[in-house]
């Protein structure tokens, strides 16, 4: 790593593997992907150097869940914006802390200065960050957190309202189903009544024919009787 300069110090890096070279590669890919996804290549560039040192002479080495690293981007003149952008991004499921070093340096021989419990906070580690910058970051993160909480409250309220509307629609749907079922049954009954009426019509039609013939015969007989009465009166 001789001759390489690093602007950014990153802590809380998820130590998902004992091979720090693999973590270096994954971290570099992660940062590049974040920059590409947010279309910040022209402003921040991409990874130029990344280095994650090994812990040495540390008894609990295998128990540490996080590690630290040093980064320089190709557009290193915008390293403050880079630190702010990368702060809190989830790397392998854990948010990383990104600090702007007081001045770019080749110094990465921190010895035991960076060996801390993985839950320890490095906000006040003046060796690794600019306190005024961190304060600004804290204020910005606090503001964003409050905005996210407000958005969450609005989303929860909208979700409750939507649930109520869905419940109401489901009730309307149930009532509509009951009405449709009732109308279907009534329609079936009407259809059966129509079939019965049609059968009755056919039955009556079959009876009308003989009755018409009988009426005709009666008319003929009546005419004959009238003719005979007329002849009798003439005599």
pLDDT in tens, 72-106: 899 888 888 898 999 999 999 999 999 887 555 54
Class (C level, CATH) for 6-123: alpha beta
Q: If pLDDT is split at 50, 70 and 90, which confidence band does 107 have?
A: very low
- Quote the pLDDT of residue 90: 94
pLDDT in tens, 175-215: 888 888 888 888 888 888 888 888 887 877 777 777 777 77
Full DSSP string of the chain: -TT--EEEEEEEEE--SS-HHHHHHHHHHHHHHHHHHTT-HHHH--EEEEE-PPP-S-TTGGG--EEEEEEEETTGGGHHHHHHHHTT-EETTEEPEEEEEEEEES----GGGG---TT---TT-TTT--HHHHHHHHHHHHHHHHHHHHHHHHHHHHHHHHHHHHHHHHHHHHHHHHHHHHHHHHHHHHHHHHHHHHHHHHHHHHHHHHHHHHHHHHHHHHHHHHHHHHHHHH-
């Amino acid at each position: 790593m001789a001759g390489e300069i690093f602007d950014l110090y990153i802590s809380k890096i998820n130590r998902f593997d004992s091979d720090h070279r693999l973590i270096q590669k994954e971290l570099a890919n992660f940062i590049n992907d974040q920059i590409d996804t947010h279309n910040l290549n022209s402003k921040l560039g991409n990874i130029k150097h990344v280095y994650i040192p090994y812990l040495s002479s540390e008894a609990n080495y295998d128990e540490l869940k996080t590690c630290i690293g040093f980064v320089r981007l190709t557009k290193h003149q915008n390293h403050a914006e880079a630190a702010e952008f990368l702060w809190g991004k989830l790397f392998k499921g854990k948010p990383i802390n990104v600090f702007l070093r007081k001045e770019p340096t080749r110094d990465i021989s921190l010895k035991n200065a960076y060996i801390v419990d993985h839950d320890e906070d490095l906000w006040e580690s003046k060796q690794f960050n600019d306190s005024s910058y961190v304060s600004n970051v804290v204020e910005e993160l606090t503001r964003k957190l409050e905005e996210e909480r407000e958005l969450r409250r609005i989303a929860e309220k909208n979700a409750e309202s939507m649930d109520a509307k869905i419940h109401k629609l489901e009730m309307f749907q149930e009532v509509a189903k009951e009405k449709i079922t009732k109308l279907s049954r009534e329609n079936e009954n009407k259809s059966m009544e129509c079939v019965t009426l049609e059968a009755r019509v056919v039955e009556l039609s079959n009876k009308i024919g003989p009755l018409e013939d009988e009426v005709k015969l009666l008319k003929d007989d009546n005419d004959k009787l009238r003719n005979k009465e007329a002849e009798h009166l003439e005599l």
